Every structure is written in C-alpha cells, then in structure tokens.
C-alpha cells in the first residue's frame, strides 16, 4: 500500500535529517499518514513535525521542511511539500494513478486483500443467543457485525473461525423446559401454572402446539421431571433450528456451534478451575466459591459456584475462554456482546489474565440497541404476535441486503435507528439502493459494450487524465486501507461509509464522463477498463459486507 510506503519514507527521512544535524537525535513518535480533508493539500499528509516540535522545541514548519528535504523520489510521488502549521503533504503522480487501473484488473477478486494477519488464528464469537426464543432485531445487529468483521479479517490475512456459543445449560434453560411443559399441558386442556421465571411469549404456545401435532399427548403419561426434561431437549432443538434458519435468511453462517453443556460433560470446567485454584484466585466464603476479582483491580468479587453447588454463567464463561485460548489455541478471540453485557467486560478480562493469558488477546465489542422506525415513528410491536418484533419479520419486509447495510451503517457502540420505510425506498435517499444502483449502472454500461462488440482489453489507461477519472481511481485505491483499518480497529461500519463514498464518486464520474462514445474509440476503451476496475472494487466491498451485487435494478 502507498500509505505504508509513505510511513517508511518519512521514518527514513527523519533519521537522515537527524544524521545531518538538522534535527536532534531522539526517538521518533509513531508516524501516522492520513488523507487531508481538502484535496488541494494533496493525497496524503503527516503531522509528524507537529509531534516532534513538542519534544525538540523547534518550529513545526522548520521540522517539516527538514524532513521533506530528505524524502527520496519514488514512482508514486509527484510532489512533497511542507505546509503550515507543520504538515508534510504528498501528491501522487497522475500517470502512476492511471496504471493502478491495470493493477486492480490483474488482481481481480483478490484486490483489497492484505497480509496483515499472516495466518494468525482468530475466533469471532457472536450472536450466541440463549435458545429460549426467536432472534429479535438487536441480535441481528450483532450477527451482521460479526459476519462482516469475519469477512474483513479473512481478507486481511487472518485465519478466522466464526462460532455460535449455545447456552444449553443453566437455570434459564431449566425455566424454558418448565415453561414449555406448562404450555403443553394447557394446550391439551390440563390446568398448569407457568413458572414465575418462565417464558411467557406467544411463541411458547405455538411451540407447544407444534409438539402436540408431532408427538401427541404422550408426555402427559410421564412423571413431570421426565416429561419436562424430554420436552426441554426437543424444544431447544426446534428453537436452535429456527435461529439457524433466521440467520441463514440474513446470510449469516458459522463454522462451529459450541455447546455450553459440553464444558461440563467433557471436564472442561474442572480444567479451567484448576489454574485459578493454583493461583489463589478462588476462595470459599458464604458457602460459595468466589473469583477474587478485587485482587485484579475489580470493584467486587464474583461468584463462580453457588452455595447449592451449581456453577454460575460467569463460571461457564471462564471455562469457555479457557477452552478457546488454552485448548484450541486461538491467537486472538473476539466476542461481540449485546449492550446488556457491558458490565461483564472488565471481569472477563480480569479472569483471562488470571488464567495466564494476555488480556489484550481478548477483544470485546459491545453492540448497542436498535430502534425500529417506520417513517419516523417508533415501531415496537410485532404485526404477527403483538409482541416484540423478531428479526425474521424485518428481513422479510426489507430484505437481507438492506438489513446488512443498515446494521453496519453505524459504529457498534452507537445506538441506531432503523427506518423500515427508508430501507425499502428506491431512491438516492436510501443508501442501500444508492450503492447497489452504482453496481447495476456499471453492469448496464458493460452490457452495452458487449452488444456493440467493443473489445476494451487493449485500452490505454494513460488516457485517463480528467479529474473525475483520477478521483474515481483515488477512491478505488483506498479499499486495502479500509480493510487494514477495520482489521486493526475492529470497526466494520467503515465498510458502509466507504461503499457510499465509492458509489458517490462513480455516479459523479458517470455524469461527467461519457463512457461509450462512437466518436472516440480510444477513450471509450480506456474508460471501459476503468469501469470494469470500479466494478471489481465495488463488488469486493459489497461482498465484504455480505451483500449481493445486482446486475439490474
């Protein structure tokens, strides 16, 4: 990438300036290269002189001039300038820019891929909803964040495994079983009281009726504990099947479905507790076993095993992360959790450290709430059930592409509004339509070229010298940088921003530059090459987002 090359050039030039005596010898701060907000300031800029001014006491502009003097010429750079108050600006050569069209075409589908990860193993665990009910809209946001992030990390050279953690053990699952048994009895005309901690959603009534249609009333003849246990297992399988189906509808898949129950059945829980015992991080008090979180900077200790001998959800999380890091040996683990898990982040980091694992290897992304709107008015009630809106309803109404784009349109730590009417609108106001229409427009241009039997493969990209053409090339060259930034910051919402920017620049190019012209065959071929390259970049961006590329709209 050009950006990294400029960073290297700046470091080398700063060292040469120090060796020449123009700058004092001291350790260089991190060298950052960014894109100026104003085009007249060039393609890239660095504030390194401003950082050095703080430690040297020299004028930032003088430092900028000294460093710029030692920047070696390269095929990419047309101009280097020191600019007030202390920036070094870089302008790329136009002929180098045009040659990048050929590079993009040769790279094809691999364009945008980088080798940042070098095969490092990363596990992303996301969604992981308790199998006690259907997915709602908030779960959909976490699903898309995880799915898109996995795509980007793969493109960045990481070996990625996507995992769904099935919470199929614990008190909530037991409450699910008792709730289902009560609804089963009620649906067969047998009086039964719902447990106070039960699941009262209408979907439980529908599930009970489905089981009656398939199994009849045979569970009434069984002792209550046995009937509850069997119904629980059948019900969990059905809920999980529905969850998988809803995720597939959204285009979300997993490499592994990990059972919480397996941690206890396979001895994983005991293995994870052993190093905590040995390290003195577990204590017995109040008839329970506690993790001494306060010894690691937490405000309070946390119960691991209750006084009745049952493990807490925190205990399961400990065993699960021991399994991830120690047994399966992932280099990095990324958890995407809902907003209600915010308070669990610090204690999870603490216990990972207590297990002898660098807490920096665990990254936790908190996905904030989603508010559904219809034309500006909040939507809270399901049309089907009169309860909370499930994810499937939204996907069926607006489509998977709209869901994926809108869920990615804001950073995970921001609450978001999802306007259902806007998501269905076929106009430039709808960013999904706007971006996909750019691809459809490209497809239309290329169909016309095929109809006219224009062979553009010998087109001369050096002819692409107008500002709209060069602006489009500049924007296309940013994709590898976007991939690198997302992989580093774990912020996949930048894909949505980039997709809109790329579409905007392409639409502008299309309006200003006639692509297929009977009067100018040379320019037609050159611009067709540019358009094909734009198609590759836009398609790669949409695929990273998990969206489709429509040939017609």
The full set of domain ranges for the chain reads 2-92, 171-249, 266-366, 428-544
Give 388's pLDDT tier (boundaries 50, 70, 90). confident
The predicted pLDDT at position 285 comes to 92
The predicted pLDDT at position 386 comes to 53
Q: What pairs with residue 125 in β-bridges?
A: 163, 335
What's the half-sphere exposure (Cβ side, CA atoms, 13 Å) at 531?
29
Say if CB 50 and CB 87 are below 8 A apart: yes
Cβ partners under 8 Å of residue 257, min gap 6: 163, 164, 166, 240
Which residue's structure tokens are 């709730």? 179
The predicted pLDDT at position 297 comes to 86
Cβ partners under 8 Å of residue 226, min gap 6: none
Instruction: Enter the tokens of residue 8.
Output: 């290297």
Q: Quick one: residue 360, left, alpha or beta (phi over 0 = left, psi -120 to 50 = alpha)?
A: alpha
The predicted pLDDT at position 382 comes to 59
What is the per-residue pLDDT across 211-246, written as a single tens digit (0 to 9) for each?
999 999 999 999 999 999 999 999 999 999 999 999
Instruction: Enter the tokens of residue 494.
Output: 């930048």
The three-point CA angle 316-317-319 to 5° equals: 65
Give 430's pLDDT tier (boundaries 50, 70, 90). very high
What is the per-residue pLDDT across 114-153, written as a single tens digit (0 to 9) for each?
999 999 999 999 999 999 999 999 999 999 999 999 999 9
Q: What is the Cα–Cα distance from 126 to 336, expressed in whole angstroms? A: 5
- CATH no. for 428-544: 1.10.730.10
Q: How far is CA 115 from CA 360, 437, 543, in A?
A: 21, 31, 19
The predicted pLDDT at position 375 comes to 84
The predicted pLDDT at position 208 comes to 97
Say if CB 35 and CB 45 are below 8 A apart: yes
Q: In this structure, are strands 362-367 and 332-338 parallel, antiparallel, or unpaired?
A: parallel
The predicted pLDDT at position 39 comes to 86
Q: Which CATH class, in words, describes the domain spanning 2-92?
A: alpha beta
Give 376's pLDDT tier (boundaries 50, 70, 90). confident
The predicted pLDDT at position 420 comes to 94
What is the per-residue pLDDT across 251-271, written as a single tens digit (0 to 9) for each?
999 999 999 999 999 999 999
Backbone dihedral angles phi then psi of residue 109, each to the nearest 5 degrees:
-65, -20
The predicted pLDDT at position 365 comes to 98
- Which candidate, 8, 37, 12, places its Cα nearest to that of 23? 12
- Which candidate, 336, 309, 313, places its Cα nearest to that of 153? 336
Q: What is the Cα–Cα distance from 102 to 295, expressed in whole angstroms? A: 59
Q: In this structure, are strands 370-374 and 416-419 parallel, antiparallel, or unpaired?
A: parallel
Instruction: Enter the tokens of residue 23.
Output: 């700058």
What average pLDDT does the structure give for the chain?
A: 95
Give 385's pLDDT tier (boundaries 50, 70, 90). low
Is residue 383 over pLDDT 80?
A: no
What is the per-residue pLDDT across 389-429, written as a single tens digit (0 to 9) for each?
899 999 999 999 999 999 999 999 999 999 999 999 999 99
Say if CB 550 and CB 434 are below 8 A apart: no
pTM over 0.75: yes
Q: How far is CA 207 from CA 156, 214, 232, 392, in A?
A: 43, 11, 11, 17
What is the per-residue pLDDT across 31-68, written as a single tens digit (0 to 9) for each?
999 999 888 899 999 999 999 999 999 999 999 999 99
Say if CB 250 and CB 391 are below 8 A apart: yes
Positive or negative, the Cα torsion across 151, 153, 157, 160? Answer: negative
The number of beta carbons lying within 10 Å of the beta carbon of residue 40 is 7
Q: What is the Cα–Cα distance from 144 to 493, expressed in whole angstroms? A: 10
Q: What is the Cα–Cα distance from 273 to 290, expressed in whole angstroms? A: 11
Give 381's pLDDT tier (boundaries 50, 70, 90). low
Q: What is the Cα–Cα distance from 52 to 17, expressed in whole angstroms? A: 12
What is the per-residue pLDDT across 318-334, written as a single tens digit (0 to 9) for each?
999 999 999 999 999 99
Angle between helices 137-155 and 479-489 (to 10 degrees): 120
The predicted pLDDT at position 387 comes to 66
Q: What is the Cα–Cα distance from 470 to 108, expressed in whole angstroms? A: 20
Say if CB 341 and CB 129 are below 8 A apart: no
């Amino acid at each position: 990438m050009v950006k990294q090359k400029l960073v290297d050039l700046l470091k080398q030039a700063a060292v040469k300036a120090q060796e020449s005596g123009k700058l004092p010898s001291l350790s260089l701060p991190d060298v950052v290269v960014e894109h100026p907000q104003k085009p007249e300031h060039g393609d890239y800029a660095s504030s390194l002189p401003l950082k050095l001014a703080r430690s040297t006491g020299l004028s930032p502009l003088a430092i900028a001039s000294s460093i710029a003097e030692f920047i070696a010429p390269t095929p990419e750079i047309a101009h280097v300038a020191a600019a007030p108050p202390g920036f070094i600006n870089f302008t790329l050569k136009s002929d180098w820019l045009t040659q990048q069209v050929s590079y993009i075409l040769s790279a094809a589908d691999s364009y945008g891929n980088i080798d940042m990860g070098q095969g490092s193993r990363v596990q992303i665990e996301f969604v992981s909803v308790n199998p006690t009910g259907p997915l709602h809209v908030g779960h959909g946001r976490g699903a898309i964040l995880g799915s898109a992030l996995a795509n980007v990390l793969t493109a960045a050279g990481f070996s990625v495994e996507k995992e769904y953690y099935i919470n199929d053990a614990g008190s909530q699952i037991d409450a699910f079983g008792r709730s289902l048994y009560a609804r089963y009895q009620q649906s067969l005309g047998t009086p039964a009281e719902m447990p106070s901690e039960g699941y009262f959603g209408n979907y439980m009534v529908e599930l009970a009726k489905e089981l009656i249609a398939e199994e009849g009333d045979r569970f009434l003849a069984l002792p209550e504990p046995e009937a509850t246990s069997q119904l629980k297992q059948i019900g969990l399988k059905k809920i999980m099947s529905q969850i998988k189906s809803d995720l597939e509808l959204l285009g979300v898949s997993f490499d592994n479905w990990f059972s919480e129950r397996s941690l206890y059945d396979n001895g994983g829980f005991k293995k994870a507790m052993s190093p905590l015992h040995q390290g003195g991080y577990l204590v017995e008090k109040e008839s329970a076993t506690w993790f001494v979180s306060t010894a690691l900077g937490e405000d309070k200790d946390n119960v691991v095993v209750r006084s009745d001998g049952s493990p807490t959800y925190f205990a399961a999380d400990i065993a699960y992360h021991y399994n991830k890091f120690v047994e399966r040996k992932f280099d990095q683990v990324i958890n995407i959790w809902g907003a209600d898990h915010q308070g669990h982040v610090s204690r999870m980091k603490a216990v990972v450290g207590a297990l002898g694992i660098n807490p920096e290897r665990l990254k936790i992304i908190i996905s904030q709430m989603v508010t559904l709107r219809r034309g500006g008015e909040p939507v809270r009630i399901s049309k089907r059930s009169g309860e909370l809106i499930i994810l499937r309803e939204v996907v069926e109404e607006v489509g998977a592409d709209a869901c994926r784009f809108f869920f990615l349109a804001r950073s995970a730590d921001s609450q978001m509004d999802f306007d259902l009417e806007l998501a269905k609108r076929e106009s430039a106001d709808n960013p999904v339509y706007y971006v996909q229409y750019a691809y459809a427009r490209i497809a239309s241009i290329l169909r016309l070229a095929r109809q006219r039997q224009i062979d553009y493969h010998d087109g001369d990209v050096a002819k692409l010298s107008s500002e709209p053409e060069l602006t489009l090339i500049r924007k296309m060259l940013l994709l590898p940088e976007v991939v690198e930034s997302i992989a580093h910051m774990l912020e996949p919402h930048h894909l949505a921003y980039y997709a809109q920017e790329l579409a905007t620049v392409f639409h502008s190019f299309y309006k200003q530059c006639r692509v297929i012209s009977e009067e100018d065959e040379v320019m037609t071929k050159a611009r067709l090459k540019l358009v094909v390259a734009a198609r590759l970049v836009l398609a790669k961006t949409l695929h990273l987002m998990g969206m489709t590329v429509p040939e017609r709209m």
